[in-house]
Amino acid sequence: MKVLRTPEKYFENLKDFNFAPNYLTILFQGHQLQMHYLDEGSNQEEVVLLLHGEPTWSYLYRHMITPLVDGGKRVIAPDLIGFGKSDKLITAEHYSYENHVAWVQCLIEALDLKNIILFAQDWGGLIGLRILAHHQDRFSGLVVSNSDLPVGQGATKGFMQWLAFSQQVENFNCGKIVNQGSMKALDADEIAAYNAPFPDESYKVGPRVFPRLFPLIASDPEAQENVLAWEKLRGFSQPTITVFGTHDEAFIGAEKNFIDIVPGAKDRMHQIINAGHFSQENQPQALVEAILTI
């Protein structure tokens, strides 16, 4: 199994990103994978787990981490395997929905995280919600932004357009993609930071594969696993808040699933905000405030 690790030189002097790196070794098919994560405010008892999606990494949370720590939280922000400073597998078959769930669960168990508020966006939700559903004793709250747990009932037109683009585009420019999915224009340094983990196409297998892992049909085993997860979430009574971007064509409307199904979402201050898919870029303070209300 060949694994790539982005040289550290590509991460030097990133704009607004001065957090200390941490690494967890994960055993996968007889090989050791390094998962990078941020761990700020580690003296605090309440944990906020910030899970990113595609094609981002923990840099996405640069404007949220310090305000959350100032608000009394310990903040854990991992880079999914294949993203950020984490190791990158070059074989597409090694990336699966199931594997991503297992890798994040390894981090939670290795750090023995408890009293967790999960913030889940994009694939951070598809992955994190599966873990929360089956390990509810570790979680004290949930904030969802522009995400869902798909059960094989197709997808929005916006997602299908993204799926086609991701498989056909010759140069998978992660920084440009994030810029297009945000409602504010990122500057050149920010775009470069999103591209930093991926010096060339050989590093981009993880981002390329992710859209293909989305369970579109009910017979997909991962869709069936998500059906089971939704059943578990019917018993999640901890505070649950949705903060969705009105301009996110991939997930807008999915907030109703959480509001209707999760008991902890009842009578909460759910929001539709003026944001695109990457709400962390548009309104980080609104997301921080939602997390701190839990």
- Candidates 144, 99, 140, 88; CA nearest to 119 is 144
Question: Hey, how many other C-beta atoms are within 10 angstroms of the C-beta on 75?
Answer: 28
Catalytic residue among 79, 87, 148, 248: 248
What is the DSSP secondary structure assignment for residue 217, as one 8-state letter? B
CA–CA distance, 226 with 134 (Å, rounded to integer): 11
Q: Active-site residue 277, yes or no? A: yes
Residue located via tokens 């409602």:
183
CA dihedral 115, 129, 73, 113 (to 10 degrees): 50
Q: Could you give the residue ranges of the DSSP H alpha helices within 169-236?
A: 174-180, 188-195, 205-213, 221-233
Burial class from Cβ neighbours inside 10 Å (0-12, 13-18, 19+) for residue 266 reads exposed
DSSP string of 269-284? --EEES--S-HHHH-H
Token readout for 121 is 């966006």
Catalytic residue among 79, 122, 220, 260: 122
Q: Are 242 and 209 in contact (CB under 8 A)?
A: no
Q: Are 116 and 104 in contact (CB under 8 A)?
A: no
Q: Are 291 and 68 in contact (CB under 8 A)?
A: yes
Helix, strand, or coil (residue 190): helix
What is the DSSP secondary structure assignment for residue 211, as one 8-state letter? H
Q: Are 284 and 64 in contact (CB under 8 A)?
A: yes
CA–CA distance, 188 with 258 (Å, rounded to integer): 36
Q: Active-site residue 200, yes or no? A: no
Q: Active-site residue 122, yes or no? A: yes
Residues with catalytic function: 122, 248, 277
